[in-house]
Structure 1
Amino acid sequence: MASPDKPEADEWKARVLHAFAHPNRLKILLMLHQGKQSVGMLARELGVSETTVLKHLVVLRTSNIIVMRREGKAVFYEMAAPEWGAFLTLALDIPMRSDSGR
């Protein structure tokens, strides 16, 4: 639903949907939905470099979907709010349909 009087809200919504629109970011979000993770843990699980993971984490952080937490010298990432996990679950539960299934 468009918000003619609140274009900044529409910009934020578009930024959030863009953040969900990459396969590796979806995988990262699924892992974070299970609990906090470090960059190294995410990189190993995805089979990509830590630099690649960090680039994806920047997109997710600037959209306020995830947060960074320091525990001593360690840095972990986690979902910013439980609602993001619910949003992710709902979005991924939508059945895929073939063109012939319309």
Structure 2
Amino acid sequence: MDITFPRPRDREPFAWGLSGPEPVELWERFSPAYESQLERLIVTLRDLGFHPTIGGAGSEDGEYIRAPYANNARIVFFYHLEDPADARFVASLDDAALRAWIVDAWQVP
């Protein structure tokens, strides 16, 4: 599945609700900051040899990235995106630190 950004809006609910009438926060799906961060994660994962997909929209835990590594069906990266603390953590990482975190945490060869 090819993922393009910004993604079209869907009618699924937001895991944490919205802070206002439109998504604006980093953890609110479809806000500019959320879409930018999601794109950054997708690009980094692809560069590392993962095959990321997005799922979970509308669930109580929220949207996530699921990513098997290379041609192996084993999922070695799974991360919830709509949790405010998790969103802030990823946003705190520059590109090199994001890549290092993925490699270290998910033991990419």
TM-score normalised by the chain length of structure 2: 0.25
Which structure has greater helix proportion? 1
- Between structure 1 and structure 2, the one with the greater Rg is 1
TM-score normalised by the chain length of structure 1: 0.27
Greater RCO (Cα-Cα under 8 Å, separation 6 or more): 1
